[in-house]
Amino acid sequence: MSLLPNEKASCATEKTASVLNKLCYLAILLITSIFATVVQGEDKIIKSHGYSFFGDLKYSANFQHLDYVNPDAPKGGEMSTWGFGTFDSMNPYSRKGRAGALASSAFESLMVGTADEIGAVYGLLASGVEYPEDLSWAIFHIRPEARFSDGTPVTAEDAKFTYEIFLKDGLPSYKAVLAQIVDKAEVLGPLTIKYSFKEDAPLRDRIPMVGGFPIKSKEWFVKTGAVLDESRMETAVGSGQYVLDSYEVNRWIKYKRNPDYWGNDLPINRGRGNFDFIRIEYFADGNAAFEGFKSGAYTFKLENSSKTWATGYDFPALNDGHVVKKTLPDGGIATGQSFVMNLRRPQLQDIRVREAISHLFNFEWSNESLFYGQYARVNSFWENSEFAATGTPTPQELALLTPVADKLPEGILTDEAVMGVTSGMRATDRKNLRTASVLFDEAGWNVGDDGLRRNSAGQTLKIELLERSPAFDRVVIPFVENLKAAGVDATYNRVDSAQYTDRTRNYDFDIITDQFPMSMEPGSRLKQYFGSETADDSVFNSMGIKSEGIDALIESVVNATDKETLKNCVKALDRALRSYRFWVPQWYNATHRVAYWDIYEHPKTIAPYSLGELDYWWYNVDKAQALREAGVLR
């Protein structure tokens, strides 16, 4: 369950292998190597080292390390990368202020997922979870050795306190979902916490949600008087591998590996957290950041500019072999990056206007002329996965869509799934321009003598594209020119990061570039992105969609209890979301484009769902020393 944009709340579970009937345990272990089940009276209680709603855990109770790590990776050195813009807070759980990069890394949860498995979580702070078959409650046993970075123990009181502060001061959209799932939290003992769930709470989200709370120190919050929803530079105490070392506002942040970290020997952690320091250097834009990388100001770059990737990597350190440039596979769902239209704006509430706008972005020309042919088109919110809707609705999708068809756009039962508009190889596609013009006319926006479109009240069709990154100028400006060619009173406004944050959080925009990172086992988190209840508060629902039909389809996804049903429900939801045409989908690349000074190593096989440069890569002391002796690295 994400709590903030670009911040992932870790989620975890653990298994205690104790049972009351040893023979029963051995029999089940031989069959599954996953669960231990105890019969207590008439209730079947499951005790497990990990949890997956669909029951298919990859790692057994006695696993020694994750498959994608090097368990013998050396510890030491520094990993440095870059951050965009500015920061003025070190609290990642508030809408106030702009949090520094990795500010949430200090916090751990009871359970944590892995980078090679979908929907499964394993124990971290918890040494076990137990729950009945009906999932009406869950009990977690916190490890006795678990400690916050100040040396104080992690307790059940801390877990309960965390639940309470998120319920009271968490993001409004998150609070709404949390309140629908959890009934109460009870401390059963110093290290034992029980969560009871509401009767109608979706089954799949129950344990992952409570297992995923980033556990806070109650003692620290009480002592300091801090609250969750505030901007502050003082960091709360966490239990994670890294703690804040130092920072200079808007310039850099440095974290250090906690030498007294309590969980170094856990199998889930072996081969991970290998750097002594992690440093983030801040730059105002990508061009400045690239120059900083070339000079050695930082040493790892995940390249997000196709132009730079194609033309910029021709500098002495690379040519001399001191810098590595390569692509690594990315098996995750595309991020759903797109131009997003704010449905709260009167001029964007007509679906014909939105469809017309989508005809005026030329992806094919952009890909060839600007991106050097490196990208594929995003068409689905679940692009690059089996959940993407295609063609006309299947019988299974129709069964879901028919009851709510009157609450969805026309044609949802018969039309093919909405795709990104294709275009020719010129910046302005005349055919698409004509199609857009007809749609604008139909919506009542007619061209006047001055070439601008006006409604019956004489108002021009004003559209502002808001951006913060100079790297997007070459993409947005041709889009704006096409809008102008169609008679739209279009402008492009690039603002600084602070202004951008303030305007987007207050929904003061017409069109922005946003992302919709979806899960391969989506659940209640969908309500934060697309649900009506939180549309006026959610930082994720940037377009402000409110649709009874979408709400109903989200419920079908949330309540799906087998994988095939889940797939059909997600496809139906994907199809319905796309039918509203509130986005102009952009592009994605199914690889990681990386460049780094030749001082790092990584496993031969990269985890499918995470590049892991801050997680399971490691530092090569000999290579670093050689570069320093050669005078090419700081």
Q: How far apart are CA 252 and CA 14, in angstroms?
A: 36
User: Does residue 6 have a pLDDT over 70?
Assistant: no
Q: What is the pLDDT confidence band of residue 578, given thresholds at 50, 70 and 90?
A: very high
Whose tokens are 């903030």? That residue is 4
17, two tokens: 């292998």
Q: Report the percent of the chain where pLDDT is more than 70.
A: 93
Given this model, what pLDDT does residue 239 score? Answer: 98
CA dihedral 231, 233, 234, 236 (to 10 degrees): 60
Q: How is residue 299 annotated by DSSP?
A: S
The per-residue pLDDT for 217 is 98
- Helix then strand then coil, in percent of the chain rounded to 5, is 30, 20, 50
27 band by pLDDT with thresholds 50, 70 and 90? very low
Q: CA–CA separation, 414 vs 392, rounded Å? A: 6
pLDDT over threshold 70, residue 23: no
Write the DSSP string, 312-324: I--SHHHHTTSEE
d(CA 292, CA 251): 12
Residues 6 or more apart whose Cβ sits within 8 Å of residue 238: 106, 107, 108, 148, 149, 214, 215, 216, 217
Give the integer Cα–Cα distance in Å for 207 and 109. 12
Q: What is the model's pLDDT at position 56? A: 84
> pLDDT band for position 171 (50/70/90)?
confident
User: Each residue of 63-73: pLDDT tens digit?
Assistant: 999 999 999 99
- If one counts every other C-beta atom within 10 angstroms of the C-beta of residue 24, the result is 14
For residue 598 the two structure tokens come to 């030749």
Q: What is the reported pLDDT for 35?
A: 37
pLDDT at 37: 42
Question: Burial level of 378, CB count in 10 A (0-12/13-18/19+)?
Answer: buried
Mean pLDDT confidence for 458-471: 95
**Mean pLDDT (the chain, rounded):** 91
Q: Is the pLDDT of residue 36 over 80?
A: no
Phi, psi of 150, rounded to the nearest 5 degrees: -90, 5
pTM for the whole structure:
0.86
Task: Report the pLDDT value the prediction gives residue 471, as an integer from 0 to 100.
Answer: 87
Confidence of residue 315 (pLDDT cuts 50, 70, 90): very high
Strand partners, 376: 588
Q: What is the mean pLDDT of residues 456-480?
A: 95
**How crowded is residue 10: how many other Cβ atoms within 10 Å of its Cβ?**
22
Q: Does 22 score more than 90 pLDDT?
A: no
> Looking at residue 4, what DSSP letter applies?
B
Q: Which domains are seen in the chain, by residue range? A: 22-73+95-224 (3.40.190.10), 338-588 (3.10.105.10)
Is pLDDT of 144 > 60?
Answer: yes
Q: What is the pLDDT of residue 365?
A: 96
Strand, coil or helix: what is 619? Answer: strand
Which residues fall within 8 angstroms of residue 355, CB to CB, at 6 or more apart?
A: 439, 581
- The answer to whether residue 369 scores a pLDDT higher than 90 is yes
Q: Report CA-CA distances (Å) from 243 to 11, 12, 102, 151.
A: 19, 20, 10, 13
- In whole angstroms, give the CA distance from residue 26 to residue 129: 19
Q: Give the model confidence (pLDDT) of 253-309 as tens digits.
A: 999 999 999 999 999 999 999 999 999 999 999 999 999 999 999 999 999 999 999
CB 132 within 8 A of CB 16: no
Tell me the C-alpha distance between 324 and 483, whole Å. 41
Distance CA 192, CA 141 (A): 5
Rank 230-234, 499-503, 593-597 by mean pLDDT and report only the highest: 593-597
Residues 6+ apart with CB under 8 A from 88: 97, 98, 231, 233, 249, 250, 498
pLDDT on residue 153: 98
Please say if the pLDDT value at position 188 is more than 90. yes
pLDDT at 391: 97
Q: What are 416's two structure tokens?
A: 């093919």
pLDDT(313) > 90: yes
Q: Distance between CA atoms of 341 and 544, rounded to whole angstroms?
A: 9
Pairing relationship of beta strands 338-341 and 583-585 according to DSSP bridges: antiparallel
* Distance separating the N- and C-terminal Cα atoms of the chain: 40
Instruction: Write down the pLDDT at residue 10.
Output: 31
The string of pLDDT tens digits covering residues 523-575 is 999 999 999 998 998 999 999 999 999 999 999 999 999 999 999 999 999 99
Query: Do 435 and 359 touch, CB atoms closer than 8 A?
Result: yes
